[in-house]
Amino acid sequence: MKPSSALTFVIAAACGACASTPKAQWSGAPAAFERLKQLDGAWVTLNGSAHLPQSMEVRYQVTGAGSALVETIGPGTPHEMVSVYHLANGGLVMTHYCAVGNQPYMVARPGDNADELVFECVGGSGVERDKGAYMARARFAFRDASRVDATWSAMRDGKLDHETRFELVRSWK
């Protein structure tokens, strides 16, 4: 295959993957994304649990000329995880690069009240809903400008395995 043919093939394959991305229509998506981008900076957890050490760092960084927000949970640790949030297909979406080695793709919807935002898994690379482990949901509850609660729900073999709640406060260091 000629280099130009190979490049055409790669571009076509990438466009095909984009075309199959689930629709994420939600009129509130742009405002929700702007609210998420206000997390930009360093945060620390106040809580500890079986799935979360005490006082772990979580970083948020707006990038791509404001078109994406990168979240890094436990930066520099063996279980570091990254999520990338952005607008797509008329909605707000996120890909979570998980420590278990898969990449759940989630679509946002409004939470139970105006201060909540929920992401639900709709597929992703290495995600099989009836077997294996994957992150299925992330719920954000915005308390104020310096306090946010995030609850992540993990599935294993088609059933809820555990939930981890991050009580996040802005770090001013």
Query: What per-residue confidence (pLDDT) applies to 173?
Result: 64
The string of DSSP codes covering 97-143 is: E-TTS-EEEEEEEE-SSTTEEEEEEEEEET--TTSSEEEEEEEEEEE
pLDDT per residue over 58-83, tens digit each?
Answer: 999 999 999 999 999 999 998 899 99
pLDDT per residue over 98-148, tens digit each?
Answer: 999 999 999 999 999 999 999 999 999 999 989 999 999 999 999 999 999
Q: Report the mean per-residue pLDDT for the chain.
A: 86
H helices present in the chain, as ranges: 3-19, 29-37
Q: Could you tell me the two tokens for 8? A: 């055409």
Contact 80/99 with Cβ under 8 angstroms? yes
Domain boundaries, the chain: 23-170
Q: Would the pLDDT of 85 be above 70?
A: yes
pTM of the model: 0.83
- For 36, the 3-state DSSP assignment is helix
Classify domain 23-170 at the CATH topology level. Answer: Lipocalin (2.40.128)
